[in-house]
Each structure stands twice: as C-alpha cells, then as structure tokens.
Amino acid sequence: MTTRAVKVVIMTLVAALLIACSREPEGSGPQFGATPSLSSQTVYKFAVHPLHNPAKLIEAYQPLVDYLNAHLQEGRLELEASRDYARFEEKYVRRDPEFLLPNPLQSLQAMELGYRVIAMAGEPADFTGIFVVRKDGGLTVPTDLKGKAVSYPSDTALAACIMPQYFLHTHGVDVNEDIDNRYVGSQESSIMNAYLGLTAAGATWPTPWRAFQKEHPEEAAQLMVIWETEPLINNSVMVRNDVPSEVADQVTELLLGLDETEEGISILSGMETARFLPATDMDYDVVRDYVTRFEAEVRQVGGF
C-alpha cells in the first residue's frame, strides 16, 4: 500500500472513531463557522446537512454564507456543520437553526416542525443514488452483491441510501436479508469503505463523488460508478416560520440569482451545485409518495 493510501486509511479510521464516540448534544462541543458574531446584528444559523465532513463542508459553503452576508440588509447568517446525519437532525428537531439545507427526506420532517421550503439546491436530475465499486471488484449485476456488504452514510440518506436500497429491491436483492448494510456516518466514509475493500460497494450521490474525485484522484482512479438510480428532487433550502419575511425573502432572492454573476458561479462551483431553483413545500410531495412506497416494500424509515 502506498504512503498516500496509508494516510487515507488513517484519516478514515480517525473519522470513524469520531463518529462512534459519545452522543452528547453537539452544542456542548465546537461550533463550526468562520465569521465571528456581531452583537449589533441578529444572527441566523444556517445548518447544512452532512454532504461532506465538517471541515470540507465549511470550505465549500462558507463562501456562500459570506456572499449572503455581504448583501443582506438585516441580520447575518452563521454556517453550522454537523458530524453526521443524526446530529444534524437533532438540530432542527429542536428548532435551533433558522435556515436549513436538508435532503428531501429531512425536508418532509422539518415541514412538520415549522420550517418551509424557499428554494431547491441544485438540478433535480443531479439527485440520484450511485453505487461506487472497485474496478477490480468483479461485480456486474446487482445480485452479485448477495452475501456482501454495502456502505451508506446513514439509513436516512435519501439519495445515498434509500434510493439505492430501493434500486436493489427492484433488481432482485432483498436488502434486509441478502446483504450486510453498513451505515458509516458520511458520504466520504461510504466511498472509502468501497475503496478499502471493507464493503463491496459504497452508496453515495453525484455531488460528494465529484468532490472525492477532485480531492483523492489516485483513489478515485481505482473506483467506478457501476449503477445509478432514477432521479427524484434535489435538496431544499428551508426557513423557520418565525424568521421575519423580509429576511427570508431576501435570502431567497440572493440564492436564486447566484448563477447570474461571475462571483456566484464560482461559489456554486465550489459547492458542486449548478444553481438554486424556485421551490415550495408542494414540490416535495413526490418524496412523500416515494418514501411511502419504500416503506411498504422495503423497510421503515426511522423517525419519519
């Protein structure tokens, strides 16, 4: 194994240990953000679900928050990252952040807690589940996974778990009996499990896979996408129902116009996102229908 590969293994093991450690409320630990609070302004927390590990997420999304703050007339935003899906979900269950960027499934739950959709973060066609495998893994059809392990970020990850599991279900694999499902905490961990041979396949979705290819080209060169699900609808941007409408409206306007400026296009590129699109709660009814079908045919989705 090369020195680079050894370093990657060590980083992956450290990340796994962090995820496995105590489940204290995240508020008692470090808060991720790059800009200090200004007492003269109202601060609104902007929590993004774990598309990446916290450090990578801050790198990708802090430019967006800085851009919004530079143009907001009232108040300012503060970016929050989470170590894993469970910690992110705990935050909006407590109604702590004022703004959210959740996955479509989390969007449904947040609606029940007093959040509403103000935009969609990316093209719907880009929201697909993909299976990443080693090129030397010998897999050709989904039923080749029987008796093997598959990694996912979380059991509530829509594109990176639920949609891939439904794909396997419709291609002759009983995901409850035929395979070993491993929920490893993050998108990168799911991919790395496949790279290291700890699982036969790692489920993820295009955004983190593109980021992995850029950041770990040597490892990515040994992997390939073998299967892809049908698209659904992309992640939402949501606002809590007690945020002043003028603040919510201005954030919405800034997001929807981001792809119209050179600076905005650069920010979007760093997030691996094409653009923000208009959306409302009703656009996510398709997710409710999908999850209902999934639960009837495959398994229950905890907490939803």
pLDDT digits 0-9 by tens, 141-167 = 999 999 999 999 999 899 999 999 999
Q: Which residues of 270-293 are buried (b: 16+ CB within 10 A; e: fewer)?
A: ebbbbbbbebebebbeebeebbee
Q: Is residue 97 in a domain?
A: yes
Find the Cα–Cα–Cα–Cα dihedral 130, 103, 184, 274, rounded to 10°: 50
Question: What angle is formed at CA 233 by the lines to CA 300 and CA 125, rounded to 5 degrees?
Answer: 125
What are 168-194's pLDDT values in tens digits? 999 999 999 999 999 998 899 999 999
What is the span of the domain harbouring residue 222? Answer: 128-230
Q: Are 168 and 145 in contact (CB under 8 A)?
A: yes
Bridge-based pairing of strands 201-204 and 130-134 is antiparallel
pLDDT at 276 over 80: yes
Bridge partner list, 151? 182, 202
Please identify, among 230, 246, 271, the residue that sits at the C-terminal boundary of a domain. 230
Q: Is residue 29 in a domain?
A: no
Strands of 130-134's sheet in order across:
180-183, 149-152, 201-204, 130-134, 223-228
pLDDT at 10: 46
Question: In CATH, what number is assigned to the domain containing residue 181?
Answer: 3.40.190.10
